[in-house]
Amino acid sequence: MPLKKQEDSSVFDNFELRLNEQSKKFLRETARWAFILSIIGFIVIGLFVFVAVFFGVMFSAFNSNANPFQQQGLSGGFIGIVYFVLAILYFFPVMYLYRFSRRMKAALAEKSTDGLTRAFSSLKSHYKFLGIVILSIVGIYALVFVFAIIAGIAGI
């Protein structure tokens, strides 16, 4: 018989998790890699912002014949906005990953259960954000697929 939500929390109130040295080693190494990946992520975000400004400023100065995107029906400003939106979207998972790495290192150094909880909260937010983005993209692909089938059947 499944436990009710109220009873569920009381079952774990007396439960204490202990980390052995191997687990601490794994968490330290994970925090280091998360830090490296987050720094690379921040650099990529900076490049996205640079490209957004570059496309926005440089291609708007070109005449329509010299701008390769204009010939395809896209303005440089539009491309710049797309890159800027991508930079904003990419910022959040990178920030959560960075917070996880900093908080995990601090929690292990201070032997702080609250710090460990905050670190795992950041990691949860990182994966939750990525999960929402991926589910959104899959949903968009599904809609495009359905509309493509409908358009094919309609003979458009």
What pLDDT, in 10s, does the model give residues 43-82? 999 999 998 888 777 766 665 566 566 666 666 677 788 8
- Split into its structural domains, the chain has a count of 1
Query: CA-to-CA distance for 65 and 62, rounded, in angstroms?
Result: 8
How much is the pTM? Answer: 0.77
What average pLDDT does this structure show over 33-37?
Answer: 98
Q: Is residue 44 part of a domain?
A: yes
pLDDT value at position 11?
56
Q: Is residue 136 part of a domain?
A: yes
Q: Is residue 83 part of a domain?
A: yes
